Amino acid sequence: MKYFIGNWKMFGIPSSINILNKINSFRSRDINRNKYRVVITPPYTLLETFAKKFKNKKIMIGSQNCYQKNQFSSNTAAISPYMIKKVGGKYTLIGHSDNRAEGDTNSMLKDKVKFALKNNLKVIFCIGENKLQKNNNKTFSVLKSQLNKVLEKRFNKNNIIVAYEPIWSIGTGKIPSQKDLSKTTIHIKKVLKKIFKKNSPLILYGGSVDENNVKVFKQIKEIDGFLIGGASKSSKKFIDIIKNYYR
Ligand code: 13P
């Protein structure tokens, strides 16, 4: 099963549901529809209406983050995994580089993963190196530490998807070479197999994925799908990514 996950970031108002309607109607006619899943992570403000509208459809709705507590607390502006689940969210991103940059630490991320899983949300755990780390050949050690400091064997690997998003690639139009990405994904898989003993969770790639470069990634068999930012705000681009992937 492949995954096409659209992360809207700070984008979307109620009428943006038209984008999902178009993706959904494409998917329901697509001969390849049983080979992949579509997940969209709109901002919190749209979670409930979108999740309700697509409750019986094949598009799944998730949140872009969650607070590191289980249910209710006195933390102003915080949204817990329980609250996300109760409005129909099925997935949550955790550890996106935007949120790491704003202060999410490994120990906060570990709690987020723990409580998200406890509330039966599927976790899309994001990792990635920055430009300096890449230039200093630190990519492998950075990724290893991001995985080892948060993920544990007792977490259900079937409810975790790892998204590799090199920070230097997010929103820049720059993508890793096929060779580098292939090596990096194999490395990630190796680290994950060590954590989870034997089997690894699925691995997605994210960072400037668009309808043209998706063909390059198709060649890398370790990649189970994509976390798509900018291009997920356009139904046409998002649909073209899926179309071109299977072409
Ligand atoms: P872009 O596809 O806009 O580079 O964003 C990637 C991303 O951060 C998805 O979470």
One-letter amino acid for residue 17 of the chain: I
Backbone φ and ψ for 156, nearest 5 degrees, come out as -75, 110
Give the residue from 45, 58, 1, 8 showing the smallest Cα distance to 237.
8
Given a cut of 90, whether residue 14 has pLDDT beyond it is yes
User: Quick one: the chain helix, strand, coil %, rounded to 5?
Assistant: 45, 15, 35
Neighbours of 101 (CB within 10 A): 10
At residue 9 the predicted structure's pLDDT band, cuts being 50, 70 and 90, is very high
Rounded distance, CA 45 to CA 18, Å?
A: 16
Location of structure tokens 């929103």: 171
Q: What's the pLDDT tens digit per position in 114-168?
A: 999 999 999 999 999 999 999 999 999 999 999 999 999 999 999 999 999 999 9
If you average pLDDT over every residue of the chain, what do you get? 97
Give the pLDDT mean for 165-180: 97
Tell me the pTM: 0.98
Nearest to 17 by CA among 48, 50, 64, 56: 50
166 CA from centroid of ligand 1 (Å): 10
* The pLDDT of residue 199: 87
Predicted confidence at residue 208, as pLDDT, reads 98
Number of the ligand 1 atom closest to the C-alpha atom of 170: 4
Give the burial class of 31: count Cβ atoms within 10 A of its Cβ; 0-12 exposed, 13-18 middle, 19 or more buried: exposed
- In the numeric block, the tokens 């970031």 are attached to 9
**Ligand 1 shell residues, CB under 6 Å:** 7, 96, 165, 170-171, 206-209, 227-231
Distance CA 222, CA 68 (A): 30
| Residue-level pLDDT at 198 | 80
Task: Give the nearest ligand 1 atom to 231 CA.
Answer: 2
Give me ligand 1 centre to Cα 216, in Å: 17
Closest CA to 157 of 111, 109, 195, 118: 195
Ligand 1 geometric centre to CA of 228 (Å): 5
> Which among 8, 9, 94, 204 is the best mutation to test ligand 1's pocket, defined by most ligand atoms within 8 Å of the CB?
9
Q: In whole angstroms, what is the distance from residue 54 CA to residue 51 CA?
A: 5
Give pLDDT, residue 96.
98
Domain count, the chain: 1
Res 57: pLDDT: 84
Return the pLDDT at 56.
84
CA 30 and chain centroid, separation: 23
- Alpha-carbon gap, residue 104 to 95, rounded angstroms: 7
Average pLDDT over residues 61-72: 98
Q: How far apart are CA 36 and CA 131, in angstroms?
A: 31
Q: Which domain holds residue 64?
A: 2-245
- Distance from residue 33's CA to the centre of ligand 1 (Å): 23
What atom of ligand 1 comes closest to residue 209's alpha carbon? 2
Q: Out of 28-37, 52-61, 141-150, 203-212, pick the least confident.
A: 52-61
How many Å lie between the centroid of ligand 1 and the Cα of residue 57?
25
pLDDT tens profile 68-127:
999 999 999 999 999 999 999 999 999 999 999 999 999 999 999 999 999 999 999 999
Nearest CA to ligand 1 atom 2: 229
CA distance 68 to 58: 28
pLDDT at 94: 99
Read off the pLDDT of each residue in 43-59 and give the average, rounded to a whole number. Answer: 95
For ligand 1, atom 9: residue with the closest CA: 229
* Residue pair 43/11 in contact by the 8 Å Cβ criterion: yes
CATH code for position 61: 3.20.20.70
Residue nearest ligand 1's atom 1 by CA: 229
Catalytic residues: 96, 165
For the CA of 206, the closest atom of ligand 1 is: 6
pLDDT at 209: 98
- Cα separation, 200 vs 191, whole angstroms: 8
Question: 5, 174, 208: which to mutate for ligand 1, most atoms within 8 A of CB?
Answer: 208
